[in-house]
Amino acid sequence: MTRMKLPTLLHGGRIHSQASSDATAMAVEGDTIVWVGQDAVGKALYRDAEQVDLAGAFVTPAFVDAHVHATSAGLQIEGLDLAGCGSLTECLDAVRRFTTANPGALAWGQGWDETKWPEGRPPTRAELDVAAGGEAVYLSRIDVHSALASSALIDRVHSTRDAVGWSADGPLTQEAHHHVRRAAQRSLTASQRRSAQTAFLRRAAANGIASVHECAGPDISSAEDLSELIELSTVEDVPEVIGYWGELNAFETAKELGVRGLAGDLFVDGAIGSRTAALCAPYTDRSDTSGALYLRADDIAEHLVGCTRAGLQGGFHVIGDAAVAEVVEGFALAEKVVGAHALSAGRHRLEHLEMVTSEQAERLAAWGVTASMQPLFDAEWGGAEGMYAQRLGLPRGAQLNPFSQLAAAGIVLAFGSDVPVTPVAPWATVRAAVHHRTSGLGVSPRAAFTAHTRGGWRACGVNDGVTGTIKPGAPATYAVWEAGELVVAAPDNRVQRWSTDPRSGVPGLPRLDVDAPLPRCTRTVRSGRTIYDGGSSQ
């Protein structure tokens, strides 16, 4: 691995530093930031250092993506990406082109969303079989909680037709989906997985991300896949991978894999788009179902108790209001066994947490829970006419992802993408958290940025006061950006009023107006090592 010369002085830029609100330079020795301040002072102190002229660029702590699925994301990058399909016909045409060009190979596709198609429905299995020409095809819905599968793939898993969630002609959900996904995964070679993982990690680095939390588990990937991914991040100049394994009480597996916790995508329920998120009242657009509840409070409590005693982070995937209620009850039961202090010290986390009340938020905050959330979900599906409103009706469908409510309760927020569900786009994620589609549910630019940087470190148990910041003593993990004017949100109005007054003492951020151009990453550095260089002089 190539290391920067020691020490290095980066100057002539704009530094997002809590140590100095008007900083224009910083010095790095090895893997640590050792000084932040003004250019003239830095040049005097570090006259013999390697001089790097930032030419006005903006330097921030590198982003952390607190929820990813690396192999699936890489397969989408390298293979059949259906996220851009505007109709059922376009989806089938994409399948036809891929299978024709890759005969004999599994067609792994991701990203279709029938709620945005004029037909308003996904392809039938018969239609998919015709397009596939007899090839094995696995097409995951954009939320990754249901999938279309060709007959050629289904025939490889004989138990699928007897499983919960089976459909003779439509998307597969729940157990049936898990069976088919495992069959698709078994069709991938080690080299295919490695290529996909590398493609994803390099894209993350190119977007200013230096650390990702891989949310793996037996129902969504494999222990082998996770082990390979963690190993890759230790031998290549790519973002760090923090691993989580989503399986109840799998303490030996956690030890073998070396993961931070038995958390991440440990499913309490499913997803709203696939109508498997567990609801207290039926779906508005399908009154015969209220979703699927996979774990009960007793299961949740037992897992939390075990993780707390083992010194591991516990956590769950939870979206629907019925699932959130079950999780809250599970925490309450666990508290009775281990006590509030021990439970809070466990730093347990919840993924998504989309339908949560103020009262529930306050109780979760008291237990020290971190909320790992994805603001692009609201940007993609929120609002009065989005998918949430279609599935849940109004006003229920407009109250999801209440970032301000959770922050006000004292819950630590950690932002991510859930890629391949939404893309790796950290500045767009920060902007989405500010401009929530429901008035009053967004957070300030500073809070949103913190949730996507320092919040990600806190979510995996790193809370030393310096990691995720630009100040002396912090790890030299940062990103360099081409950005326009830096502004500071006025304290009496989180979004609309801005100030450029340096006397505020608050580091500025790029404009996050809906129509403003977002910064472009030119370099990403992880612990003093450059993991992405966009070809600029920085």
- The Cα–Cα gap between 227 and 221 comes to 11
- The Cα–Cα gap between 11 and 13 comes to 6
- The Cα–Cα gap between 422 and 231 comes to 25
> How many other CB atoms are there within 10 angstroms of residue 67's CB atom?
27
Q: Are strands 8-11 and 50-53 parallel, antiparallel or unpaired?
A: parallel
Q: Under a CB-based contact definition with an 8 Å cutoff, are residues 413 and 369 in contact?
A: no
Classify 408 as helix, strand or coil. Answer: helix
Q: Give the residue ranges of DSSP H helices in 22-116.
A: 39-45, 70-78, 88-101
Classify 294 as helix, strand or coil. Answer: coil
Q: Are strands 25-29 and 50-53 parallel, antiparallel or unpaired?
A: unpaired
And the tokens for 387?
């998918």
Nearest to 398 by CA among 409, 388, 412: 388
Classify 367 as helix, strand or coil. Answer: coil
Question: How many CA atoms within 13 Å lie on the side-chain side of 286?
Answer: 11
Give, in degrees to the nearest 5, the angle at Cα 81 between 78 and 84: 140
Q: Give the residue ranges of DSSP H helices in 410-476.
A: 426-434, 445-452, 454-459
Q: Under a CB-based contact definition with an 8 Å cutoff, are residues 318 and 351 in contact?
A: yes
Tokens 């008007």 locate to 22
For every one of its 538 residues, what pLDDT tens digit does the chain have, with 9 covering 90 and above? 444 456 999 999 999 998 887 789 999 999 999 999 999 999 999 999 999 999 999 999 999 999 999 999 999 999 899 999 999 999 999 999 999 999 999 999 999 999 999 999 999 999 999 999 999 999 999 999 999 999 999 999 877 788 899 999 989 999 999 999 999 999 999 999 999 999 999 999 999 999 999 999 998 999 999 999 999 999 999 999 999 999 999 999 999 999 999 999 999 999 999 999 999 999 999 999 999 999 999 999 999 999 999 999 999 999 999 999 999 999 999 999 999 999 999 999 999 999 999 999 999 999 999 999 999 999 999 999 999 999 999 999 999 999 999 999 999 999 999 999 999 999 999 999 999 999 999 999 999 999 999 999 999 999 999 999 999 999 999 999 999 888 876 543 444 344 444 444 567 899 999 999 999 999 999 999 999 999 653 3
Query: What is the side-by-side strand order in the sheet with 107-112?
Result: 80-81, 107-112, 137-141, 146-149, 172-173
Tell me the CATH class for 8-62+468-483+519-533.
mainly beta
DSSP one-letter string for 167-206 = -SSS-EEHHHHHHHHHHHHHTS-HHHHHHHHHHHHHHHHH
90 contact partners, CB below 8 Å, separation of at least 6: none
Classify 248 as helix, strand or coil. Answer: coil
Q: Which helix (H) or strand (E) holds 20?
A: none
- Say if pTM beats, i.e. exceeds, 0.95: no
Q: Under a CB-based contact definition with an 8 Å cutoff, are residues 421 and 68 in contact?
A: no
- For domain 68-186, the question of CATH label 3.10.310.70 is answered with yes
190, burial (CB in 10 Å: exposed 0-12, middle 13-18, buried 19+):
exposed
- The Cα–Cα gap between 538 and 203 comes to 19
